[in-house]
Chain A
């Protein structure tokens, strides 16, 4: 074996490990025992902090968890974070004084300073639209509503750690409370939300390398949490005999969420994917070997016919045993398959709800299937749609994507920002998936129009549908495969490789 081949094999093994071994490329949360002794820089309002506040309680709690806490006030120099494993920012710190001093810190940040979200790039800058703080003085009625959070995401590491379900839960103890929300960008992950909308995220995160709401890239993990200045001690929990009731246990999870989010912020992020098409190809060759793939197309389907043939040829070269089926074939042909790819040549109408519930990973190359496949809501051109389709779209043709989930292996190691997907502008489909999906790429200048995303197995999809296996959208219109750039093909391969994972 040549040295080059060995390197490729090693890289391939690494890529495989990331893609298959670690679901969603999210490393497991580190146990507290592994985090003990780490230093936390706790940024508060210091002597200027509004009273009463829970900063002392939080500091005590962090110490109880085994962390070393260095409390500073908002005027601190950014260099104070040097050596810290985590920056925790209380809402008692004045966001105007904080400014953006920690925005570029390559250290995880856990914050409940809602007004500081824009400084950190975690939300847009407009109060009431991009973020807000509900309090019993200004918003008395809503201060009751924020006692109820919703499990928007059930598959994130934080969600799994607390057993979050797509139901309401008690955020804070039963009295009108102050709580903050933010509306993260597509690179963020909404874990919980308020008021029945993911726009009002109570707990949300950004993975390292994820694109922030302001277009910058997260230099380390970021967590926004709904706490107010004086209600840490009211984060819900249940003790005694009540803790034996599973419903109460799942209801009073405020403190558990805090712990899990804190632990997630402190845990090592997954390794940064590297753009290396050779290694990716090698990894896919290894993963595809012996796998059975069902390729569903409109057989002899006009303009996409050659493209379909070339996709199938590529898949066969990778080692898949490919069965090509017409869109009208019965769903039972999916039995025993390891992966299903639905071509953009398929007619949504003729496909007739097939393959929705098959417990086999599925990639749709057709974005207009997003409603029927439960990828998104059902309102065409609102929940899903397309750019560049003559007479069917008001948006011009497009051939670039904006990578917002560079941290994910589905991004093939491509850096955040614009990437040329196909050689020439053409039709690109999009959908707006639910918070359980990991969004890899959006259409340029359209942060709500997501072109590449994936739902892990068990994810909550539109209409409450639970993903029976991995699901992904990769927008390849009928003839587009032959026009894909090298980066576009890498994205294709990365999504296929991800879909094969667990």
Chain B
């Protein structure tokens, strides 16, 4: 899915500290990408969403009630907006607008990408928003509410609800195939729920054998593969056309995994494709060597739980927002194939 997903956000306070000294080594077990920059956020509050603009010149960070824009280098861009509640998710629509889901009072806010000025907003009556997904190819906007197990398809311009489906269980991350099908992990039922996005009806369920509490989900829409992260330490690769799991790989498990996929995630001469899962303890990569061949490419331990993840393939960077239990101030890790600033 294009709009790399997202989660609440809070205030990103002023100082962003680029630590150029004492960066941890790229010492994952086989994980090939190093920590390039570490950005400490001065404000407390969980970062619920990270979102790049199409040219990766701006990254929007949602922390608490605030959205702030930063340069890829981590410098503030005098671009910020405070909203009426915790921002739980961000997405960017075809028109370029930033869509923010506010948890309480539940509302959808449409913002200018250049100024973050509120262009319009709409109250929601579908529970507390937890995630947004904009399917750029299908031009469909989806809003997920985990409090009442519903997914609403919204008009991407007005935010008007176009259809709704309720699913028994506990919902996790969403992914769309660009052709009118939406997938969402069902943590309670160990399954992938399949939704016909045009009718917003449940089309079926793909069982995920020996996968407990799947939460992270990403899709390779060209290869038609779904990458599922399971709490019990497995990543499953599912052929979306058949619902057939053909690869199982070890993964640092845990609840609330975040997943992303991209082709050439770290440049044209690197991996053909890669899926990344980040959770409570580590970030792990699954390297796509061919559409039929994948391998686990190690993991990098994380000092704190990952609360949001964004992959900027054009610049070859993986951004992770980490909640810091010690200070309450989140840290953003920027991983990439380039040289560490510590070196």
A contacts, CB < 8 Å to B: 173-175, 233-234, 236-244, 248, 252
Contact = CB atoms under 8 A, between A and B. Distances in A.
19 contacts: A173-B239, A173-B246, A175-B292, A175-B293, A234-B246, A236-B242, A236-B244, A237-B242, A237-B244, A238-B243, A239-B243, A240-B203, A240-B243, A241-B194, A241-B203, A241-B204, A242-B241, A242-B243, A243-B243
Contact of A174 (B203, B205, B292): B292
6 shortest interchain CB distances as A-B pairs: A239-B243, A240-B243, A240-B206, A175-B292, A241-B204, A241-B203
Contacts of A175: 246, 292-293
Most buried by A among B203, B242, B292, B293: B242
B204 A243 contact: yes
A240 B292 contact: no
Main SS of the interface on chain B? Answer: strand
Contacts of A239: 204, 206-207, 242-244
Given A173-B239, A175-B292, A238 B204 contact: no
Interface string B216-248: 000000000000000000000001011110101
B296 to A, nearest CB: 14
A459 B203 CA distance: 36
B130 to A, nearest CB: 23
Contacts of B181: 241
Interface string B166-206: 00000000000000010000000000101000000001111
Interface residues of B, number: 17
Given A173-B244, A173-B246, A234-B246, A240 B239 contact: no
Nearest to A170: B242
Given A173-B244, A173-B246, A240 B205 contact: yes
Contacts of B246: 173-175, 233-234
A452 to B, nearest CB: 43
Most buried by A among B192, B206, B248: B206
B13 to A, nearest CB: 45
Given A173-B246, A248-B242, A240 B293 contact: no
A175 B292 CA distance: 6
A235 to B, nearest CB: 10
Contacts of A174: 239, 246, 292
Contacts of A242: 204, 241-243
B326 to A, nearest CB: 42
A248 B242 CA distance: 8
A414 B129 CA distance: 76
A46 to B, nearest CB: 23
Given A174-B246, A233-B248, A240-B206, 13 more contacts: A173-B239, A238-B242, A238-B243, A239-B206, A239-B243, A240-B192, A241-B181, A241-B204, A242-B241, A242-B242, A242-B243, A243-B243, A244-B204
